[in-house]
Structure 1
Amino acid sequence: MIEERLGAVFAAAGAEGRLHAVDVDGPCPPEPMGRGGGAGAGRRQGPEAGSGRGYGVGLGADDPVVIASVFKVLLVLEFARQVSAGQLDPRERVRIRAEHRLGGWGTAGCADDAELSLRDLAFFALSVSDNTAADLLMERVGLDTVRMLAAELGLAATRLTGGPRQVLEAMLAEVGARDETEFAAVYPALTAGQVGRLSVLDPARTNASTPRDITRLLRLIWCDLAGPADACAFVRDLMARQVFRHRLVSGFPDEASVAAKTGTLPGLHIEAGVVTYPDGGRYAVAVFARTPDLATSRTGTDAAIGRAARIAVDHLRTV
């Protein structure tokens, strides 16, 4: 069975996996209603349009999972919707100072102050998973509105507790570190059990969803049903410009294009995106791998994400 093949891929990499994959152009999710309603007006609905159950390929597709930086897709989508509605000027400038920097890629790791537009914060948040850019964008967009968006889109299993700063502050507090430098010094001495109890690794206490909810979000974006068409196109374009190519991309032929968003935390290796083939086939895939060791870089696990995604998509293309 397909589930056994998928499970074997993760087991061979020493990981536990959760996955959902679905044909973007198969039976459509229901049209979202509420703020920005009508974005998909007139679109024909297919069978099983309500829950999405009964089609697609899954391995623990409805299990709660930590989504880490994949939440940035929802954040940037809400930003793009507010821009489309005239509520935000994408050219508005933001000064990024030392107190804003959280560490990591992009402006998060800058040594000096920088200034960007809101639109460029969104670009950095998705293309290089810039935590500082996402944090500042969240301040401007509003956590409550992002939560409202998740509810509006029917992401019933998705819960958001905060942005990157809240995640970082929770990690620091739980290990008794005052800042990132102190955390980096303390972390190597922590046992696997201590790290495993961190709230950021627990779907019940941090930003979380299910693989099926995430592929639903992607399908709505790719079908222009997650908001105005220009907002959906903005998110698709930025996801296509992600620089990280070691997970989903590794499993697919060169002629297939992948637009995706990674997520990484100790022991968690995640990527969700849409794979498009030259024949027009489009497949939304969300893969979550958890490893007993807490390294954030594991080549074997990253490759397993690509292999499992390819198996699932190949199955969808042949059934």
Structure 2
Amino acid sequence: MATEQRITDIFTRAGVTGSLHVVPVDDPGDGREVAVAADRQTVIASVFKILLVLEFARQVAAGQLDPTERVLVDAADRLGGWGVAGCADDVEVSLRDLAYFTMSVSDNTAADLLLRRVGADVLPLLAAELELPRTRILGGPRQVMETMLADVGARTEADFARIFPTLPTERIRAMRVLDPERTTSSTAREITRLVGLIWRDEAGPAAACATVRELMSRQLFWTRLAAGFPPGVRVAAKTGTLPGLHAEAGVAEYPDGARYAIAVFARTDGLATRRIDVDLALGEAARTAVEALRST
């Protein structure tokens, strides 16, 4: 059975519509790849934070930002969620700690503050510089939250939490945050290009790329890509999650030194964000693709 069909079957068993691209990091031009709907425009959610932290690291390497600069996070900054986003009291952290929280626990407040500091208008320019023409960055976590509130007719996060569960599925599916033409989006192929450039020190100064690799290796969530690979394989990655969307991108490095850039996205019929079966399917699909490349 062709590898692509095996991966499609994994997606089908999990009840998702998936896209995937896997390519060797160190030989991207040798023609070897596994691609399943790899050029489909897809909402990438928090996977965009790879670009955000890359831009931060590039500005630090260029001397434009001091990574120890202190930032006060107060009640008006908090968007809810993990990390400083979930703190009840004001917190003071450095820019580099904001980058750490952004990558390790996908902290939306940390990402929003970091985006303000590096400049939201810079990320589309970075995507263009890295030759990612289909990677569209339309705002950050705060803009995503604001569009979600507006689309359901909520004024506050509390209103949203009350209204959202009562909405019919078709109303939720019509939200801008789930439409790749109206929110931050890309393709699996472009995301593997991005992580490949980072792992080859071609996305900016070597020090900046090393910073991103190190922070991606500290992600705490392990049920997606990391769950698919055996012990001894190092996985560094970044998740993305929205209602009905499960995504992850990163690199798997084997003990023999071979490295593989991976991007996998799954859309579910239901809207739950906690689906361990879907998460594990992403890891299984990624491992299946990598093993096929290793066998050739």
Task: Report SS of the residue matched to 2:274.
Answer: coil
Q: CA deviation at 1:13?
A: 0.6
Aligned to 2:271: 294
| Corresponding position of 2:86 | 109
1:312 aligns with 2:289: yes
What SS is found at the alignment partner of 2:117? helix
Query: Is 1:252 aligned with 2:253?
Result: no
Correspondences of 1:220-259 after superposition (within 5 Å): 220-259=197-236
CA distance in 2, matches of 1:82, 1:62: 30
* 1:273 partnered with 2:250: yes
Name the SS of the counterpart of 1:253 in structure 2: coil
Deviation string 1:233-273 (CA, Å, 9 cap, x unpaired) is 00000000000000001110011010000000000000101
Does residue 1:11 correspond to 2:39, yes or no? no
User: Which of residues 127, 135, 145 in structure 1 aligns to 2:104?
Assistant: 127
Percent identical pairs in the alignment equals: 63
1:306, CA displacement in angstroms? 0.5
Superposed structure 1 runs of 4+ greater than 3 Å apart: none
What amino acid is aligned across from residue 259 of structure 2 in structure 1?
A: R
Asked if 1:95 corresponds to 2:72, the answer is: yes
Structure 2 gap segments, 5+ residues each: none
Q: Which residue of 2 aligns with 1:285?
A: 262
Report what 2:123 is aligned to: 146
Residues 14-163 of structure 1: pairs in structure 2 closer than 5 A: 14-27=15-28, 54-163=31-140
Could you tell me which amino acid in structure 2 is paired with residue 121 of structure 1? L
For 1:75 and 1:105, the matched residues in 2 are separated by 18
Amino acid at match of 1:11: T
Q: C-alpha deviations, 1:257-298, integer Å up to 9, x for none?
A: 100000000000001010001010100100000001000010
Structure 2 residue 182 is the aligned partner of structure 1 residue 205: yes
Instruction: Give the letter for the 1:175 counterpart.
Output: V
Aligned match of 1:34 = none
Structure 1 equivalent of residue 148 of structure 2: 171
**Paired letter, 2:149:** L
Deviation per residue, 1:201-221 (Å, 9 max, x gap): 010000000000000000000
Quick one: distance in 1 between partners of 2:33 and 2:120?
Answer: 31
Mapped to 2, the partners of 1:55 and 1:216 lie a distance apart of 14
What is the one-letter code of the residue matched to 1:3? E
Whole-angstrom distance in 2 between the partners of 1:4 and 1:175:
38
Select the residue among 172, 185, 206 that pairs with 1:195. 172
Q: Hey, what's the Cα distance between the residues in 1 that align with 2:32 and 2:139?
A: 32
Query: Do the aligned partners of 2:32 and 2:293 also contact (CA within 8 Å) in 1?
Result: no
Pairwise CA distance, 1:143: 1.2
Cα distance in 2 for residues equivalent to 1:300 and 1:127? 22
Deviation digits for residues 144-182 of structure 1 (CA, Å, limit 9, x no counterpart): 111111100001110010000000000000100011111
TM-score norm. by structure 1 comes to 0.91
The amino acid that maps onto 2:139 is G
Q: CA RMSD in A?
A: 0.8
SS in 2 for 1:99: coil
Taking the aligned partners of 2:157 and 2:22, their CA distance within structure 1 comes to 36
- Residue 55 of structure 1 deviates from its aligned partner by 3.3
Aligned to 1:2: 3
Show the counterpart of 1:32.
none
